[in-house]
Amino acid sequence: MAHVVLVGNLAQVTGGVAEFELSATSVKQLYQQLTELHPAIGPHLETGVAVAIDGQIFQDTLLEPIGPDSEVFLLPQIAGGD
């Protein structure tokens, strides 16, 4: 199972739980599984988060594959300046 880590304020909507072991094989499945476990995180995932899979950062890639031994970090988007 993939090791999933929530970074920043994302863990606040899961009651402080920041790490999960999930069987998702794609980012889309990962989002579905997290939302089933913690429905309040769903809107945060829909508005966009950056996803790092095994050290490579992806954005807006729901179909990106996740391996069974992958390490996945979900990072909230950071607003930039002008």
Q: What is the pLDDT of residues 24-70, one digit of tens each?
A: 999 999 999 999 999 999 999 988 788 999 999 986 688 899 999 99
Could you tell me which residue, 25 or 9, shows the higher pLDDT?
Answer: 25
Contact 68, 1 (CB under 8 A): yes
Domain that holds residue 38: 2-76
Structure-token pair, residue 70: 């992958």
CATH number at residue 52: 3.10.20.30
* Share of residues in the chain with pLDDT > 90 (%): 72
Q: CA separation (Å) from 34 to 18, 31, 42, 52, 80?
A: 11, 5, 8, 16, 27
The CA-atom distances, in angstroms, between 13 and each of 45, 60, 76 are: 11, 21, 12
pLDDT for the residue numbered 80: 58
pTM for the predicted model, two decimal places: 0.88
Query: What residues contact 46, with CB distance under 8 A and at least 6 apart?
Result: none
Query: Is 51 a domain residue?
Result: yes
The count of domains in the chain is 1
